[in-house]
Amino acid sequence: MSEKVLITGATGFVGYHLIEQALSAGLEVYAAVREHSDTRHLKSFIISYINLNYSSVDELRSALEKHQFQYIIHAAGITKAKDEATYNRINADFTKNLGVAISTVNYKVKKFIFVSSLAGIGPLSDLSGKLKDDSTPHPVTSYGASKKLAEQYLSEIPRLPMIIIRPTAVYGPREKDIFILFNTINKGLEPHIGSFKQQLSFVYVVDLAYIIVKVLFSEVVGTSYNVSDGKIYDRYALATLIKKALGKRTFKFHLPVLVVDVFASIIELLYSRTKHAPTLNKEKMAELTAVNWACEIVHIQNDLGYEPLYDLEKGVNETVAWYKANNWI
């Protein structure tokens, strides 16, 4: 019989690609979804569904023991919230509960992968150097701080066969946030925030999903890895490659940081009366205007043989093709 993998956050952007890679690896996939989650985009997969109560260690433990998952990938979480408490509850407390449940089940879980974020470390303040797997964390957003807190909680749980994966900015088919730039450029506009120098990093979602699933079968435990495509890009690289893939000419302009900051404040105010959190807010500005998000991937390359198949140009071309084929642009 095939070994079982539980994938949380399965209906999300990364979750979809994790399911695809796990099935390709011959695993029996259980997708953890919320009660009212839209799973129509997963209908082509032969998978099972499970609802989990992340607020209860006992219920999580019972669910794990019932299904006897050999592998668990925790990709569930939120990237937008109204306040720090919500980030911490969902991204950190729920992750801790799952970790405690895994460490106390009555069978052996072979591997637990926590999908964290480079935001949990935070950017460098100048253009010298790269973020390393063991860089001192200095997150600049509540989201990043909640991921850092989750990592801290997990590190304190004994007998946890864990690997932490920290992807940088992830893009690819089905992604909705960076897609805003694709869509804006498709309309002939190319906005940039400020005109200062930046070093950025990206990872194509297929490369990310592939290495996460590969890690399941490794002997490595108790280690954290930053993940990118291994290259460093300037602030204009993504827009330039999107234009090239779309065959578009754009009106390129630079918005003063202060103007965008005020705009973000106005958006926050408008959203304050709704249950939703905006894509752009004051905190997000700290990430968008950070000077250096370049990261080193030498350890995951040496330990796990990670060799990204996609640089930014190849990934953008494939992403644009998918957006067009599915009428997103």
Distance, in Å, from the CA atom of 68 to the CA atom of 283, rounded to the nearest integer, reads 40
Residue 90 carries which DSSP code? I
pLDDT of residue 82: 84
Please determine, for residue 271, whether its predicted confidence score (pLDDT) is greater than 80: yes
On whether the CB atoms of residues 26 and 50 are closer than 8 A, the answer is no
Please determine, for residue 1, whether its predicted confidence score (pLDDT) is greater than 80: no
pLDDT of residue 272: 79
For the domain spanning 4-175+201-234+294-310, the CATH number is 3.40.50.720
- pLDDT tens digit sequence for 87-107: 999 999 999 999 999 999 999
Residue 167 main-chain phi, psi, to 5 deg: -75, 145
On whether the CB atoms of residues 111 and 165 are closer than 8 A, the answer is no
Token pair belonging to 154: 């997990």
Picking from 91, 256, 276, 246, the residue whose alpha carbon sits closest to that of residue 179 is 246
Report yes or no on whether pTM surpasses 0.85: yes
Token pair belonging to 121: 């470390």
**Angle of helix 179-186 versus helix 237-246 axis, rounded to 10:** 50
pLDDT band at 233 (very low <50, low <70, confident <90, very high): very high
- Sort strands 189-193 and 251-255 into parallel, antiparallel or unpaired: parallel
- pLDDT tens digit sequence for 110-159: 999 999 999 999 999 999 999 999 999 999 999 999 999 999 999 999 98
Q: What is the mean pLDDT of the chain?
A: 95
- Listed in sequence order, the residues at least 6 apart from 256 whose beta carbon sits closer than 8 Å to its beta carbon are 194
Please determine, for residue 276, whether its predicted confidence score (pLDDT) is greater than 90: no
pLDDT of residue 52: 96
Please determine, for residue 230, whether its predicted confidence score (pLDDT) is greater than 90: yes
On whether the CB atoms of residues 231 and 312 are closer than 8 A, the answer is yes
Share of the chain above pLDDT 70, in %: 100
pLDDT of residue 34: 86
- The CA angle 127-132-133, to the nearest 5 degrees, is 155
pLDDT of residue 277: 80
pLDDT band at 269 (very low <50, low <70, confident <90, very high): confident
SS3 of 229, please?
coil
Extents of the domains making up the chain? 4-175+201-234+294-310
